[in-house]
Amino acid sequence: MYDRQERAKRLTDMNVLWGQSTVIEELIRAGKIDEEYLYPFNGDEVLEWWLVTPWLAERLKEQGEIIIDCLGCRWWGRLTSGQAIHMDSVIHEICGGE
């Protein structure tokens, strides 16, 4: 049986696909994605954008995370930076609920 840290690492390895901060900025500038994502409604600052699987996007949305569902993709607006994604508390919450 995996412990929560190992489950978190496996979850992110399988469901967090690519860093996409530059892509999101360009899509917003081009008017393809609503500018509201530059200034999230809850006052939190998105530090990184990540392309994620639909499954993870739903779990993150359930946890109150910022998700863009547009152009056939799901992007997660990560509010933390500087540590491995599998260490984020929201990922551990998702793993605890499995």
pLDDT of residue 42: 64
- 60-97 pLDDT, tens digit each: 999 999 999 989 999 999 998 999 999 999 999 998 85
Q: Under a CB-based contact definition with an 8 Å cutoff, are residues 20 and 49 in contact?
A: yes
Burial of 60 (0-12, 13-18, 19+ CB in 10 A): buried
* Ramachandran bin of 31, using left for φ above 0, alpha for ψ from -120 to 50, beta for the remaining angles: left
- 20-76 pLDDT, tens digit each: 999 998 998 898 987 776 665 566 788 999 999 999 999 999 999 999 998 999 999
Q: Which residue has the tokens 């779990």?
A: 59
**Nearest to 97, CA basis, from 69, 58, 68:** 58
Q: Under a CB-based contact definition with an 8 Å cutoff, are residues 91 and 85 in contact?
A: yes
pLDDT of residue 1: 46
